[in-house]
């Protein structure tokens, strides 16, 4: 990032290549995959423009995701409703229903219904709760970094995540069975 702050195009290109997957995935989970690349491009444009003012006080990814958060929240407000697209599960995560290893029609239907219910439940969360959950669950970000990205205290982040998880559990209870 220091080289980028001095206007090094090659360093900027390497920085984008290294971090674009993180930015695109996080943005896609917040507002949908269709606009993820456009927003990610805006994030990196902001990084380039802000590079001369960058100070290494926090991890670069924390600073990067803070920029992404602002743009996502602005886009979400502009749309008045954000759309979240959770990552699809790997085929290895699913048990085989048929001898060839593919799930049967009943299982596929149940999985689509559960996927839709999860998507709708996540969409219904307030944007800060949703982003905190995404950063923790999908990006494995430590609580301290989430606090920095969201400009919150550590206890506030823990409380936010607790509320988000409880809300999701409550909304998804019909799909979880009686033992949850």
Q: For 48-62, write each residue's pLDDT tens digit.
A: 999 888 888 878 999
Q: Which domain holds residue 116?
A: 2-87+104-176
Give a yes or no: residue 162 inside a domain: yes
Query: Distance between CA 59 and CA 41 in Å, rounded?
Result: 20
CA 175 to chain centre: 23
Query: Distance between CA 113 and CA 118 in Å, rounded?
Result: 9
pLDDT at res. 7: 87
pLDDT over 80 (residue 76): no
Query: Distance between CA 88 and CA 152 in Å, rounded?
Result: 30
Q: What is the CATH number of the domain that holds 74?
A: 1.10.10.10
Express as a percent the part of the chain with pLDDT over 90: 42
| Count: domains in the chain | 1
Reference 23, options 83, 82, 63, 55; nearest CA is: 63
pTM above 0.85, yes or no: no
pLDDT per residue as tens digits for the range 135-144:
998 888 999 9
In which band, very low, low, confident or very high, does the pLDDT at 90 lie, cut at 50, 70 and 90?
A: very low
Give a yes or no: residue 142 inside a domain: yes
Query: Distance between CA 23 and CA 37 in Å, rounded?
Result: 9
Give a yes or no: residue 167 inside a domain: yes
pLDDT over 80 (residue 109): no
Query: Distance between CA 18 and CA 23 in Å, rounded?
Result: 10
Identify the top-confidence range among 51-60, 92-101, 148-157, 163-172: 148-157
SS (H, E, C) the chain: CHHHHCCCHHHHHHHHHHHHHHHHHHHHHHHCHHHHHHHHHHHHHHHHHHHHHCCCCCCHHHHHHHHHHHHHHHHHHHHCCCCCCCCCCCHHHCCCCCCCCCCCHHHHHHHHHHHHHHHHHHHHCCHHHHHHHHHHHCCCCCHHHHHHHHCCCHHHHHHHHHHHHHHHHHHHHHHHCCCC
Give a yes or no: residue 94 inside a domain: no
Give a yes or no: residue 166 inside a domain: yes
Give a yes or no: residue 43 inside a domain: yes
Give a yes or no: residue 45 inside a domain: yes
pLDDT at res. 102: 66
């Amino acid at each position: 990032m220091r080289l980028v702050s001095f206007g090094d195009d090659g360093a900027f290109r390497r920085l984008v290549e290294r971090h674009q997957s993180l930015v695109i995935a996080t943005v896609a989970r917040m507002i949908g995959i269709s606009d993820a690349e456009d927003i990610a491009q805006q994030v990196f444009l902001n990084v380039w423009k802000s590079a001369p003012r960058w100070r290494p006080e926090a991890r670069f990814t924390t600073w990067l995701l803070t920029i992404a958060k602002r743009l996502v929240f602005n886009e979400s407000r502009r749309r008045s409703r954000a759309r979240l697209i959770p990552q699809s599960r790997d085929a290895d995560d699913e048990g085989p229903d048929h001898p060839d290893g593919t799930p049967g029609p009943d299982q596929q239907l149940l999985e689509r219904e559960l996927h839709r219910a999860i998507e709708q439940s996540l969409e219904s969360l307030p944007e800060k709760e949703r982003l905190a959950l995404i950063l923790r669950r999908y990006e494995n970000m430590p609580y301290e970094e989430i606090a920095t990205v969201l400009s919150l205290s550590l206890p506030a982040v823990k409380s936010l995540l607790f509320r988000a998880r409880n809300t999701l559990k409550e909304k998804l209870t019909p799909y979880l069975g009686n033992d949850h």
